[in-house]
Amino acid sequence: MEPAVESGIVGAQASKQAKEGSKNRSRRRWRKGKVKASAFSHSMDLRTMTQSLVTLAEDNMAFFSSQGPGETARRLSSVFAGVREQALGLEPTLGHLLGVAHHFDLDTETPANGYRSLVHTARCCLAHLLHKSRYVASNRRSIFFRASHNLAELEAYLAALTQLRALAYYAQRLLATNRPGVLFFEGDEGLTADFLQEYVTLHKGCFYGRCLGFQFTPAIRPFLQTLSIGLVSFGEHYKRNETGLSVTASSLFTGGRFAIDPELRGAEFERIIQNLDVHFWKAFWNITEIEVLSSLANMASTTVRVSRLLSLPPEAFEMPLTSDPKLTVTISPPLAHTGPGPVLARLISYDLREGQDSKMLNSLVKSEGPRLELRPRPQQAPRSRALVVHIHGGGFVAQTSKSHEPYLKNWAQELGVPIISIDYSLAPEAPFPRALEECFFAYCWAVKHCDLLGSTGERICLAGDSAGGNLCITVSLRAAAYGVRVPDGIMAAYPVTTLQPSASPSRLLSLMDPLLPLSVLSKCVSAYSGTETEDHSDSDQKALGMMGLVQRDTSLFLRDLRLGASSWLNSFLELSGRKPQKTSLPTPEAVRPTESMRRSVSEAALAQPEGLLGTDTLKTLTMKDLSFKGNSETSDTPEMSMSMETLGPSTPSDVNFFLRPENFHEEGEAKDDVGTMDRAPRVRAAFPEGFHPRRSSQGILHMPLYSSPIVKNPFMSPLLAPDSMLKTLPPVHIVACALDPMLDDSVMFARRLRDLGQPVTLNVVEDLPHGFLSLAALCRETRQATELCVQRIRLVLTPPAAPLS
């Protein structure tokens, strides 16, 4: 090739590269400018932001109104008029909420609660509209201005702003109804149902399309978009395979039309969360455990020497009482619902430690198929002084220790201690109290056999996330009830502490949360409490009359009897007959493995010393009855066991998840069949005249509006536990998310413990979704939040300093 020609080619390539580099730099500057504009918007006070947005909206509205009769120009003018109207209507309400939000904080160092979160979310939406309005004002005359694209984004965020305004009015209603400092709705059960009935009819699809994840840190949004595409694609595949059993990872990569059409994706997302049952969510949440995806996750995680799945035999054993180690109590294997069976748990250790390759432990190892085995080190590390017992999340219905193995491996390396993660049985096949029984059994087994796990057991921490955080707390309560060793501390990440369907300002965020939609939460709670409905496919069942409800509930009642006649149901059946008798502290003679049915959670609580239970009866305990001053009195006579008898008035309306209380007018009952959602609830007065939020077009939402009394059991909802039980807890360290619908659970639980003088810490991370532990490797923010959890665990595992002499 001639030098001149070659030189010309090289020059052309260099010119082309220079142009591409210039384009990339322009894109980076635009993105950087967008981030800076967003940061500037967030630094503005609410009134200034609103005024700036209104001014820009009016300017853009006037411009597009003068552009002739074109449809796009008309819609752009209309959308800016809507932005102006909604911003002006929303600003006073947000200002009011922000002005009183500090009354609901745990303390001045922890400014976090659902009111603050709702205001922050609305500010994010306003900030995005402000940035977009500035962009339109600066570029509307350019020939490169994409009118249709900007119109679609503006319309999506206007819809989101409208729905957020509705949520702000709901929050005002909560503020007016609740006592100072109380975050959960305190109206009577009928009013609560009216509130939820109104709330669940709101349109949600706008939050799952173009606006998906706008409230979270930008690094999270691409993941959420990929997740939403996978979800709707998975949903289509699931519909074609009714059981969902043949769904594979390939179903996650067939959603091209959902990827390019955000509005279609949002509508389909809303349809799925409202209409598909808990079995769909179980299948979808377990998709990470298929071989391909789990192998990829393990490749990206820390390499450990030990990761073995153990099968703990269902054999009773003795545990010493902390009050007198010479006495023991029998820990029986779990029996509820499905009878005796082994409990699975995964042992994870960064180093191979003494005892971890013992003959006895090897006999408990359960095969998981072909796995990469690493060569053991020539010598074993000594036993660690500490042990972490981990309980995974998943809404009580999904996931195992394998789903959480990547971050647990990192924990094992950073903490330098072995971790045993419990694989409890999942609802709806194994409802409450099966999971609690298995976790308690595995915890006691780990304490007794810590030498096999590579630990001396001097310090033990219970750690869990979400549903696992709930189980960590209730396992500790049960250990105290049995009189055995409680852990030295608890680390609970974004735990759920009450399963009652009570509204709170943070739970309002479930309207837009892609990971915790309200209807999905309700399905999980129904499954765990054993009140899941069997089938909604028949349209005739959507409008059951009173007799239909009775027939259905009778069949469910008989089904539960066949599944094992769990103790709380037995207690309910005995209500009209006799009261339970006092029971003394359990002894080995009183609790034997040959008994026909294992003691229930209720009986374990009944068997506490009288001073522990006291008069903190749960007979009519609700959020309204909780005292946050820790002033409960005790007497010499315990009231009742924590069975169905103590969980609420034994009226049919309490047992049935759908029936209204008896004190409601009959004409109200006639209008309140399961399928009826068109009645005007009393809470609609919360909206000012002329304001109409968007309503869902996805049909009736199958969500129970009344809770079963079982969810008031303190072993299911520890926030409702009496003071005497909460005083038995070890130090509790809670790590919550500011934008999590479960935030108020953490704040109120921490307040109860603080008021009782119990050691508790609450750390709230910003701009991250529920479940950030499973996203630990995703971005800097999730890594920092995960490190905070590790620090809290390390605090538990560090022995307290000896007092100076």
Residues with catalytic function: 466, 740, 770
CB 479 within 8 A of CB 709: no
Determine the Cα–Cα distance for residues 765 and 738; give it in Å rounded to an integer.
6
Residue 537, both tokens: 């496919």
Q: Is the omega angle on the peptide bond into residue 501 within 30 degrees of 0, that is, cis?
A: no
CA atoms 226, 201, 155, 91: torsion sign: negative
Q: CA triplet 214, 161, 691: central angle to 5 degrees?
A: 160
Those residues whose C-beta lies under 8 Å from the C-beta of residue 716, and which sit 6 or more positions away, are 432, 433, 436, 470, 474, 499, 528, 529, 710
Those residues whose C-beta lies under 8 Å from the C-beta of residue 347, and which sit 6 or more positions away, are 306, 307, 308, 310, 356, 361, 418, 419, 420, 453
Angle between helices 291-300 and 401-415 (to 10 degrees): 10
Eight-state DSSP code of residue 110: B
Those residues whose C-beta lies under 8 Å from the C-beta of residue 117, and which sit 6 or more positions away, are 505, 506, 509, 738, 739, 743
Q: CA triplet 338, 344, 345: central angle to 5 degrees?
A: 145
Q: Coil, strand or helix: which one is 254?
A: coil
Q: How many residues does the chain have?
A: 805
CB 414 within 8 A of CB 307: no
Determine the Cα–Cα distance for residues 672 and 663; give it in Å rounded to an integer.
14
Half-sphere exposure of 477 (CA within 13 A, CB side): 31
Residue of 746, 744, 743 whose CA lies nearest to 732: 746
Determine the Cα–Cα distance for residues 82 and 65; give it in Å rounded to an integer.
14
Half-sphere exposure of 468 (CA within 13 A, CB side): 27
Q: Tell me the β-bridge partners of 491.
A: 463, 733
CB 568 within 8 A of CB 644: yes
Nearest 5°: phi and psi at 307? -150, 95
